[in-house]
Chain A
Amino acid sequence: MPDDIAEVYRNTYPALVRFLYRKVWDAERAEDLAQEAFARALVHRPENTRGWLFVVAANMARDEARKALREKRHLTLLKSEPDATEVAPEESIDASTQAQRVRVALEQLTPRDREALLLWDAGMSYDEIATQTGLARGAIGTTLARARRRLVEAYDGGQEGGQHVARG
């Protein structure tokens, strides 16, 4: 019997948005995609709604990323000057550079490690992550340990390599 989608929606929507945000890095887009995933679930009525949603969301985010890459290339061809950098308000610079560095670090993980980490952060159990990723349940702990270590190392490495990092 299919899950009650309204119930899954209440429990899962914020986690799905967060999961998507770490893939498309645009809060509004993440919300749009999350809503689209739920709208599709209303049509498809999958048995395991939560798992299905994350698979669909991951696919949509992947398509989105490919599209963004194509558009970026296209823009680069059209525009002779480099992209204008957005000027962030003074107080939000710290937070946004921090997030930017985490994003760069996260993207240095292998896709499988990153997926496991994002699914864990979205509130999935080891069993659910195993189902989503195809990993053995017994391998999830090791995968997450490696993902966390690499995230921290990549982040710290980025810090040291950064040109204008003010510390302390």
Chain B
Amino acid sequence: MSHVDEGTLHAYLDGELPSGERAALESHLAQCASCRAQLAEERALFERATALLGSTRPAERAVPPFEQLRRAPRRPWHLRTGFAWAASLVLAVGFGYYLSGALQPASQPEAQPEAQPVAMAQQNRPADKAAASEGLRRRQQNSGAIASATPPPDANPRGAAPLPLDTVVRIGDTARPHEEAGVTAAPAAGAASLLAAAPSAQRADTRSVENLVSTAWPAISRGKAAALLGDRPVGVPGLATRGIRSSPTGDGTVVVEQALDSKTVIQIFQRPARSAEVDELGARERADRVLARYVGRLRVEISGPVSTDSLNKLLELVEPLP
């Protein structure tokens, strides 16, 4: 074996030399004083560089709980454009099921997830009039589905959405008391249990679920909500709050209903977090079934007649209401 180059010596010092090469190197070192001296030199360099790098470590801090991750760090950009973004999101709703395929997680590191719904809506609008008018028609259908007490079976554009996360989709237009008249609401089993239903079953139950919440959940004041939660209720900043209701079961769950537009209402369920459910949430997130996160000491879940991605983004924006 000829003398050894520094790259090989560093790979050796790093423990990254394949075993065959390592054995060959070691037998060479055993009989070559010059290479042993070289190795000592490289080792000193290695240790020096490692120490220098080590002196630039940031102060060690506790790793924040994984469950907090849903609260993506907010930049000023989000705060400034949060409302405009929510508005453009409503435009994007009409194209929701065109996008449902395109918005599947893509392994593109450069992708800016928060920009996608807007960008795609803009691409579709001017570029293809047919698609645009189609989108408009569907949006009207969508509105119709929300406005009508008995929507035709195919009027729900979310029916095409393939994601299991869409189990939480409900329609929350609570400003129509006449729709609630004929419903005899059974006592609600709590928001969490509503979230577990399968999509097919859920679609059929959409009206009854909504009415269940609308009628059986009494409207409460913000102060009462704060008292129940032990903290300020949370919502998406910049959206109008249509109502705050509490669970009739007295389990402390509060729902804040906010309007994306005159026809689209999202529901933000919240209750004080119990320490034992941290693991449970972790398990659920792995299964990707529930859109939930912690905001301060509150466990927050979101639902509404928009895409899962949009709900996810909205959930990230949630913070204590002023």
Contacts and interface: CB of A to CB of B under 8 A. Distances in A.
Given A14-B63, A98-B55, A142-B5, A149 B70 contact: no
A13 B61 CA distance: 11
A142 B6 contact: yes
Given A17-B58, A59-B110, A145 B52 contact: no
Contacts of B14: 120, 126, 141, 144
Contacts of B63: 9-10, 13-14
Interface of A is mostly: helix
Contact of A141 (B16, B45, B59, B113): B16
A44 B70 contact: no
Contacts of A42: 69-70, 285
A140 interface: yes
B64 A145 contact: no
Max chain A C-beta neighbours (<10 A), residue from B50, B58, B66, B110: B58
A137 B205 CA distance: 57
Contact residues on B (Cβ < 8 Å of other chain), bracket: 35 or more
A78 interface: no
B292 to A, nearest CB: 12
Given A14-B63, A140-B11, A35 B109 contact: no
Contact of A148 (B49, B285, B316): B49
A46 B106 CA distance: 7
Interface of A: 4-6, 9-10, 13-14, 17-18, 21-22, 27, 30-33, 35-36, 38-40, 42-47, 52, 55-56, 59, 95, 98-99, 102-103, 105-106, 117, 120-121, 125-126, 138-145, 147-149, 151-152, 155
Interface of B: 5-11, 14, 16-17, 42, 45-46, 48-50, 52-53, 55-61, 63-64, 66, 68-70, 72-73, 105-111, 113, 282, 285-286, 309, 312, 316
